[in-house]
Structure 1
Amino acid sequence: MKVDGPRITVWVCVLILLSLAVFLMQAGWSAASIKTGIDATGRSSLLLFSIAFTASSLQSLWRTPLTIWILRNRRWIGLSFAASHFVHLALILAISLCFPEPFLSDQSKAQWVFGGLGYLFVALMALTSTDQAQKWMGLQNWKRLHFIGSHWLWAVFALTYVEHTKKGPLWLYAPLLVFTLALIPVRMAKHQPPGALHGITN
């Protein structure tokens, strides 16, 4: 079955929610199991975000059936990221209400503000991921919102994995941090002259 368009978001939501439900049924409802769910949905959000964030660059660097498919479905991959990240938020709210300590004490005000603004951008970008919204806002305003929002979210991921890498385990979080940092040069690659990508000068 060919998966395109809204089906992508539907399948991603089903897989995330089903996996989370199965895990929580096995592990039980506890602070530890919710934290595991938070970590897992954080990684699924990072993966989906990274695909949408670099879609046009990947297609320009490596034109393959896969990268063409990714670019064609970038909107739905982006909405899949939004869905994953709101599941992530739901788990954060759950642990804050059910097992507030020491979770709340471990979070700084800066994390709440920075992350909260990130969720505002996720909501705004999801709500404006339609042709009608683009026409209503005007192309330049639409591009400005999605450019600022996507780079703010990249910064949230980067700072999150900087903190996780400091706390460890290093073998798990250091690769995720390197992966996140690498998204910017990949995204910027499409803006380089074709010769520069291959080390060619005129």
Structure 2
Amino acid sequence: MGIPISFGRRLVAHVSLLSLILLGVSWMWADFSSFPPLETWSMILGYLSFILIGCTLLIGPLQSWLPARWMAINLSIRRDIGIWAGLTGLLHVILVLVLFESEPRLMILQENRSEKTDGWLGLFFFASSDLTMWPSPNWTLAGVANYLGLLAFFILLALWLTSSARAEKWLGGSSWKRLHLANPWLFVIVLFHGLIYIHSIKGEPHTFSDMLVFAAMIWVIRSISFIQRAFFRKR
């Protein structure tokens, strides 16, 4: 018999997650103090969304090592973490669009803005000298990072909007599961989006290890869990 999920338990989970997010913001703020405040919020929220998405990928493997009666509460915790991953990710995107639409602009290194279209569209397109021509796609490294971020945004939005039990019932169990199988792909896309920015666009305090160590840890834990399940299933 599983552990029942009450409103009070969900409330405690959300308050705890919000407290951890605020703690993470306060911990990282000093490292980003050289950036304008809105940009600092944008970058920190992006990092936190990446971490929370990764945490949702750990719930399944951890559940395989816990008693079966914990399954309901673990699934509830994964859903709550996913909600906050979506919220922090969407706030990150909104702040990026605001920063590119008005002052202050993002502090971007190694990028030529002279040929870009105005506003947030400059993230994705180069302006054409011929006014009758459509803007051309931005296939620079920065542009690829932006396209990956846009793809991640749509996936994250779809997962976030369907994170409730009502949405699961409306979509049907099998369709809902197929949609949420995109979660590992979302993590990989966000990982490459962040790595490109760290490598060629942003400078310190970003480093590859910020994201790669966490991604490697998730890969190892999920791999061990997969091998264990396959071994016991074969037996």
Letter in 2 for 1:99: P
CA distance in 2, matches of 1:19, 1:53: 19
Q: How does 1:67-146 map to 2 (within 5 A)?
A: 70-97=74-101, 98-100=103-105, 103=108, 108-146=142-180
Residue 154 (structure 1) shift = 0.9
Residue 95 (structure 1) shift = 1.5
CA distance in 2, matches of 1:182, 1:20: 22
* Cα 1:67/1:175, change in 2 over 3 Å: farther
Letter in 2 for 1:158: L
Q: Deviations over 1:36-59 (max 9, x none)?
A: 222211221122212212201122
* Cα 1:32/1:8, change in 2 over 3 Å: same
Residue 146 (structure 1) shift = 0.7
Gaps spanning 5+ residues in structure 2: where?
Answer: 1-6, 113-122, 124-141
Q: Deviations over 1:72-119 (max 9, x none)?
A: 411111101111112212221232122336649575332232211211
- Answering whether residue 190 of structure 2 is matched by residue 157 of structure 1, we say yes
Provide the TM-score with structure 1 as the length reference.
Answer: 0.71
Contact 1:13-1:83 within 8 A present in 2 as well: no
> Which has the larger displacement, 171-180 or 84-93?
171-180
CA distance in 2, matches of 1:193, 1:31: 45
Contact 1:38-1:92 within 8 A present in 2 as well: yes
Higher helix share: 1
Letter in 2 for 1:36: T
Letter in 1 for 2:52: L
> Which has the larger displacement, 170-179 or 108-117?
170-179
Contact 2:42-2:96 within 8 A present in 1 as well: yes
Aligned equivalent of 1:180: 215
Aligned equivalent of 1:59: 63
* Cα 1:161/1:61, change in 2 over 3 Å: farther
> Which has the larger displacement, 166-175 or 183-192?
166-175
Residue 6 (structure 1) shift = 4.3
CA distance in 2, matches of 1:67, 1:170: 39
Q: Percent identity?
A: 23
CA distance in 1, matches of 2:205, 2:71: 31
Provide the TM-score with structure 2 as the length reference.
Answer: 0.63
Residue 169 (structure 1) shift = 4.3
* Cα 1:164/1:62, change in 2 over 3 Å: farther
CA RMSD for the aligned pairs?
4.0
Residue 137 (structure 1) shift = 1.6
Q: State the structure with bigger RCO (CA 8 A, min sep 6), 1 or 2.
A: 1
Alignment length (residue pairs):
193
